[in-house]
């Protein structure tokens, strides 16, 4: 069936390094993508979103890249900090989808001092 | 107020009990959601309410009964649950149209004995 998947289940980085979390999606009709961060014992927290009419969007220390040709999404975190340690989920939806979000499997980011 | 609140934070119930989970938001959102999240897995959509009407039921067993009394409140009534229903239950809300992020609550950790 249609799904959103991730290439790496766990990513370990040194504090101060840049992190890249990848996500593949299979529904070519998807036109809105969101990255969420989930810390232990908490609900998912919005990080950044991107619509399919864009290929890049930047926030504070985060950048999302969208490659529609290969159905690939990535989240880049600059100067990773210990507080960035969490599980990161990509999610997709499409206009007319009644706000139905489909989540990817998630990547755990571990930041080491 | 940009929060989604959920009560209780933790719930332990037997298989013959009846209990309810509650969710509240005061952001003026007209779409509200229930998700189920098992350990180390992504959230899975259960129900979507739009303008207080049920718009999506993801083939959820009838032992889960959602209710949306008004635009700010969402309940999930539980009856005759099974141990495999133990999970984190997340509530979310969003604007009902367009490309809008979903705001998640902290969740209710449910254990069924």
The predicted-structure confidence for A49-98, as pLDDT tens digits, reads as follows 999 999 999 999 999 999 999 999 999 999 999 999 999 999 998 876 66
pLDDT surpassing 70 at residue B113: yes
Residues B53-68: what's their mean pLDDT? Answer: 96
pLDDT value for A4: 55
**Are the Cβ atoms of A89 and B94 closer than 8 angstroms?**
no
Q: Would you state the structure tokens that stand for residue B33, as one six-digit string?
A: 């959601």
What's residue A100's pLDDT?
A: 85
Residue among B78, B74, B87, B77 nearest B29 (CA):
B74
pLDDT in tens, A1-48: 334 554 448 999 999 999 999 999 878 889 999 999 999 989 999 999
A83 burial via Cβ count (<10 Å: 0-12, 13-18, 19+): exposed
- How far apart CA A63 and CA A45 sit, in angstroms, is 16
In sequence order, the 6+-apart residues with CB closer than 8 A to the CB of A70 are: none
In this structure, are residues A75 and A69 in contact, taking their beta carbons and an 8 Å threshold? no
The more confident residue out of B97 and A64 is A64
Residue of A nearest to B42 (CA): A105
pLDDT computed for residue A26 by the predictor:
79
Question: For A66, phi and psi rounded to 5 degrees?
Answer: -125, 125
> Which pLDDT value is given to residue B96?
77
- The least confident of A34-38, A96-100, B5-9, B70-74 is A96-100
| Peptide bond just before B8 cis, omega within 30 deg | yes
Q: How confident is the model at residue B99 (pLDDT cuts 50, 70, 90)?
A: confident
Q: How far apart are CA B61 and CA A86, in angstroms?
A: 31
Give the pLDDT band (50/70/90) at residue B1: low
Query: Considering only CA atoms, which of A112, A29, A18, A27 is closest in space to residue A74?
Result: A18
Distance CA B22, CA B106 (A): 12
Question: In the A/B pair of chains, how many CB contacts fall below 8 A?
Answer: 55
To which residue do tokens 């990535």 refer? A74
Partner residue opposite A46 with nearest CB, options B90, B101, B105: B101
A69 interfacial to chain B (CB closer than 8 Å): no
Contact B90 A44 (CB under 8 A): yes
Say what the pLDDT of residue A63 is.
98
pLDDT at A107: 95
Which residue in A95, A98, A94 sits closest to A25, CA to CA?
A94
Q: What is the pLDDT of residue A1?
A: 34
* Look-up of token digits 């635009």: B71
pLDDT at A66: 97
């Amino acid at each position: 069936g249609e799904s959103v998947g991730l290439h790496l289940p766990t990513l370990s980085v040194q504090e101060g390094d840049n992190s890249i979390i990848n996500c593949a999606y299979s529904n070519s009709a998807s036109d809105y993508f969101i990255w969420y961060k989930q810390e232990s014992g908490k609900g998912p927290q919005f990080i950044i979103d991107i619509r399919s009419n864009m290929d890049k969007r930047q926030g504070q220390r985060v950048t999302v890249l969208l490659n529609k040709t290969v159905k690939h999404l990535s989240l880049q975190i600059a100067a990773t900090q210990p507080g960035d340690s969490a599980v990161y989920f990509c999610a997709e939806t499409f206009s007319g989808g009644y706000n139905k979000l489909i989540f990817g499997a998630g990547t755990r980011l571990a930041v080491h001092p | 107020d940009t929060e989604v609140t959920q009560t209780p934070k933790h719930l332990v119930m037997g298989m013959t009990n009846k209990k309810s989970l509650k969710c509240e938001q005061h952001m003026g959102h007209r779409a509200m959601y229930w998700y189920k999240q098992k350990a180390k897995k992504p959230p899975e959509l259960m129900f979507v309410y739009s303008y207080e009407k049920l718009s999506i039921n993801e083939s959820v067993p009838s032992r889960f009964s959602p209710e949306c009394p008004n635009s700010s409140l969402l309940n999930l009534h539980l009856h005759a649950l099974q141990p495999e229903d133990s999970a984190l239950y997340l509530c979310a809300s969003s604007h009902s149209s367009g490309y809008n992020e979903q705001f998640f609550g902290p969740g209710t950790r449910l254990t069924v004995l």
